[in-house]
A and B are shown apart, each in its own frame.
Chain A
Amino acid sequence: MSEILRLDRVSRHFSGLQALREVTLAVNKGEVLGLIGPNGAGKTTLVNTVCGVTPASAGTITFAGQDITRIKTYQAARLGLSRTFQIVQPFAEFTALDNVAAAALFSQGHENVKTAREEARAHLSFVGLEAQAAQPAANLTLAMRKRLELAKALAMKPKLLFLDEVNAGLNSAEVERATKLIHELAASGITIVMIEHLMKVVLNVCSRIVVLHNGRLIADGTPREVINNPAVVEAYLGQQYAQRSAAR
Chain B
Amino acid sequence: MSRANLALIVLIGLIATLPLFGGAYALRLGTMACMYAIFALSWNVVGGFAGYPSFATAAFFGFGAYASGVLLGAGLPLWLAVIVSGVAALIAAGALGAALLRLRGHYFAIASLSLVEVLRELVNNATDLTGGGMGLNIPLAAGSGIMADALFFFYAMWILMLATALTVMWVAGSKLGFGLACIRQNETAASMVGLNTTLYKSLAFALSACFVASAGGIYAAWVHYIDPSDVFDILYSVKPIVMTLIGGLGSPLGALCGALVYLGLEEVVWRNYIQIHTGVLGLLIVMLLLFLPHGLVSLRLARLFGKAKHV
Contact = CB atoms under 8 A, between A and B. Distances in A.
Interface of A: 51, 53, 72-74, 77-78, 82-83, 85, 89-94, 98, 102-103, 105-108, 110-113, 152, 155-156
B182 A102 contact: yes
B196 A91 contact: no
B197 interface: yes
Contact of A102 (B174, B178, B196, B197): B178
Contact of A74 (B186, B196, B310): B196
A103 B174 CA distance: 15
Interface in B184-225: 185-186, 188-197
B185 A152 contact: no
B224 to A, nearest CB: 46
A103 B186 contact: no
B179 interface: yes
Interface residues of B, number: 19
Contact of B179 (A82, A106, A108): A106
Nearest to B191: A73
Contacts of B271: none
A78 B189 contact: no
Contacts of A72: 191, 196
A90 B182 CA distance: 9
B194 A91 contact: no
Contacts, number: 74
Interface of B: 174-175, 178-179, 181-182, 185-186, 188-197, 310
Contacts of A113: 175, 178
A229 to B, nearest CB: 33
A9 to B, nearest CB: 26
Contacts of A90: 186, 189
Contacts of B310: 93-94
20 contacts: A74-B191, A74-B192, A74-B194, A74-B196, A74-B197, A77-B191, A82-B192, A90-B186, A90-B189, A91-B182, A91-B186, A91-B190, A102-B179, A102-B195, A103-B193, A106-B182, A106-B193, A108-B194, A112-B174, A155-B193
Contact of B194 (A89, A93, A106): A106
Contacts of A78: 194
Given A89-B188, A91-B181, A107 B193 contact: yes
B192 A77 contact: yes
B189 A91 contact: yes
A152 B189 CA distance: 10
A152 B191 CA distance: 13
Given A91-B189, A103-B194, A112 B175 contact: yes
Contacts of B178: 98, 102, 105, 113
B185 A92 contact: yes
A83 B240 CA distance: 39
A62 B289 CA distance: 53
Contact of B192 (A51, A93, A105, A108): A51
A41 B194 CA distance: 28
A110 B178 CA distance: 12
Contacts of B181: 91, 93-94
A70 B192 CA distance: 15
Contacts of B186: 89-92
B150 to A, nearest CB: 43
Given A77-B194, A91-B190, 15 more contacts: A73-B192, A74-B194, A74-B195, A77-B192, A89-B189, A91-B185, A91-B186, A93-B185, A102-B182, A106-B182, A106-B193, A106-B194, A106-B195, A110-B175, A112-B175
B309 to A, nearest CB: 11
